[in-house]
Homo-oligomer: A and B are copies of this chain.
Amino acid sequence: MTIKDVAERSGVSVSTVSRVLNNHPDVSEAARSRVMETVRKLHYVPNNSARDLVRPQTAAIGLVVRGAGNPFFSGVIRAVEQEINAAGYTMVLHQIRSGEDELQAGAELARSKRLLGVILLGGCFDYTPEQTAALGIPFVCCSFTNSFGSLNKDAYSSVSIDDQAEAYRAVTFLIRQGHKNIAILLDSKQDHSISELRYRGYCQALLDAGIAPDTALVAEAGTFDMAAAYEGTCRLLRSQAEFTALFVIADSMAVAAMKALHDHGLRVPEDCSVIAIDGIDMSAYTIPTLTTLIQPVGAMGKESVHSLVDIIEGRGGNRHIQLRTALRPGGSVGAGPVFTSANDVKIKP
């Protein structure tokens, strides 16, 4: 079932069929309707591979997303799509599973679809120039940046938050509320990724306040999923470590952590405050509402597209944009315990 079949059945040439299919103006009404009729009758559907192969540079931008179920991504994807369309381009979305290589996927997509640029959503923090060379077109890392890699700054663009600084901010917020014994729930201390960066911010905030980080207060879940976060929090609680506040590196994990605290008979925030980073939908519906630093997903998508389009259209080179989160006060953070000497805790101005 090809365009040729349609042509024969309609008594016209393949070019006429092609013209009809692509809404070209120079086709007689008679031919057009005859072709359409055949298309319907034969249930003809064009082969996109063949189209992609032959069509000249379609103004398309790719979006490679790793991690299908990440709720944080949906908002970004929406924004990216909207912005790409607004800029007069077409978005080609490509989801990959955790096992796959986003650079490889991006490169293949770029070739097949003749992309002008690629946005990577949820990739690695440690690319080498060698790895990214395969892409061959401008790309922007959206929601992450090359913190652990060796990419040259002007070889790629990025739009992200400063993970370390934001974690610092979250923990400092807890300290300002009077907390001294602050635990952290993370994926891993050394994942060469988001978890490690936020851990650094946590440590730094403590140090700057004159509090010595205590490894007994670090709970490593090993992954980002809720079950692991729940378990990690339980282990922390069973360890008898003392803390009045918990910084969780991701909202979804924080939701599970709050449940674990509750199941152990602890009240949030009376017995333990909880703060996180991300701002996914669901964390607005916990009881109490999770206090969190909301990532600007809309702006993130928007800026990613802008950076890319500017490069594509020759308006300058690679940029690295750092966005700030917004604190969403919830009910999950309360005041810390009252000390006789309040100056136990030093707070940076």
Q: Which residues of chain A have a CB within 8 Å of any CB of chain B?
A: 1, 43, 45-50, 52-53, 68-69, 71, 73-74, 77, 81, 93, 95, 97, 104, 107-108, 110-113, 133-134, 136, 225-227, 230, 252, 255-256, 258-259, 262, 281-282, 284-287, 289
Contact = CB atoms under 8 A, between A and B. Distances in A.
Q: Could you tell me the dominant secondary structure of chain A's interface residues?
A: helix
Nearest to A96: B93
A281 B223 CA distance: 15
B285 A45 contact: no
A287 B262 CA distance: 8
Given A43-B136, A45-B104, A259-B287, 6 more contacts: A68-B68, A68-B95, A69-B74, A226-B282, A230-B285, A258-B285
24 contacts: A1-B136, A43-B133, A43-B134, A45-B107, A45-B110, A45-B111, A45-B134, A47-B53, A47-B111, A48-B49, A50-B53, A68-B68, A68-B77, A69-B71, A71-B71, A226-B281, A226-B284, A255-B282, A258-B285, A258-B287, A259-B285, A262-B287, A286-B286, A287-B287
Copies in the assembly, this chain: 2
A49 B108 CA distance: 9
A285 B47 contact: no
Contacts of A45: 104, 107-108, 110-111, 134, 136
Which 8 residue pairs spanning A and B have beta carbons closest together?
A69-B74, A49-B52, A259-B285, A49-B49, A45-B107, A49-B112, A47-B111, A48-B112
